[in-house]
Structure 1
């Protein structure tokens, strides 16, 4: 399959739905972080990405949404050689993050503290430019929705068998 190289305008055309492969190439230098985060979401939540076109003034163009059981996990906005993750947290999640704020990186903490509140939620727009921010986003996703459990019983049986 040939991957079409897209310029900035490629993600602004509502009539041109880019593929995940095209987006992955487009984020360029941030490709490793993109693949890490999308694989984390897929592996832990068993959800597929949903491509949508947004006319929102803040981040217009194509984006990738992830939802689990009707609940938004995050929206990823591809940019040339980077991407931004939008994670919306509700009051309960805000409280959980606030208690553990010292465990998060400086950038995440700054965005969190300065994010305005709308209907009891904070909209965290995070440029994913380093591993610390990537790990902070994963941590918040796990607070929002618990990851699917692995087959613990099967693992227990294997471990128990080795000790009997």
Structure 2
């Protein structure tokens, strides 16, 4: 088993998948690869908010989202910036109540909202995250 906090050893993607041990990890990661042709970049974060190895998924040099692995689940960070805000607000009422609440509770600054979303089990949350990532991707294509 890998130690996600061990900075001196970058884990392989299969090791991260084994560590998370949740089929949603593989499903979401595969979706991003197939749908957007994202580039995978493993980075180590020293941030106290989310320390350890994470995976940035980039398209055309822009980060669509970042995945933070945990045992049994993972977090998805999607930044809603000025380019995405208008479209995201239109979508907001279609998202699950817990994601609406998360958005309203999340601090906003410098025109951005950093949504850190737990993904642990099947349900509407996965589909909501896909919709949010699509907004980010489309905004980056138009304005990037």
Flag whether TM exceeds 0.5 (same fold). Answer: yes
Task: Give the corresponding residue for 2:132.
Answer: 140
Name the structure where strand makes up a greater proportion of residues: 2
What are the equivalent positions in structure 2 for 1:41-120 lying under 5 Å apart? Answer: 41-120=32-111
CA distance in 2, matches of 1:73, 1:13: 25
| SS at structure 1 position matched to 2:131 | helix
CA distance in 2, matches of 1:115, 1:69: 27
CA distance in 1, matches of 2:108, 2:61: 22
Superposed CA deviations along residues 105-141 of structure 1, whole A, max 9, x for unmatched, are: 1221111111111210100000012331111110011
Superposed CA deviations along residues 22-76 of structure 1, whole A, max 9, x for unmatched, are: 1101112xx2111111111101111231110000010000001111112110100
2:34 counterpart of 1:34: no
> Relative to structure 2, which stretch is displaced further, 47-56 or 92-101?
92-101
TM-score with structure 2 setting the length: 0.90
Q: Which runs of 5+ in 2 are unaligned?
A: 139-144
CA distance in 2, matches of 1:26, 1:75: 17
Q: Which runs of 4+ in 1 moved over 3 A?
A: none
Superposed CA RMSD in Å reads 1.2
How many residues are treated as equivalent by the alignment? 137
Tell me which of 11, 14, 19 is aligned to 1:21: 14
Q: CA deviation at 1:91?
A: 2.2
Q: CA deviation at 1:143?
A: 0.8
Q: Which runs of 5+ in 1 are unaligned?
A: 147-164
TM-score with structure 1 setting the length: 0.79
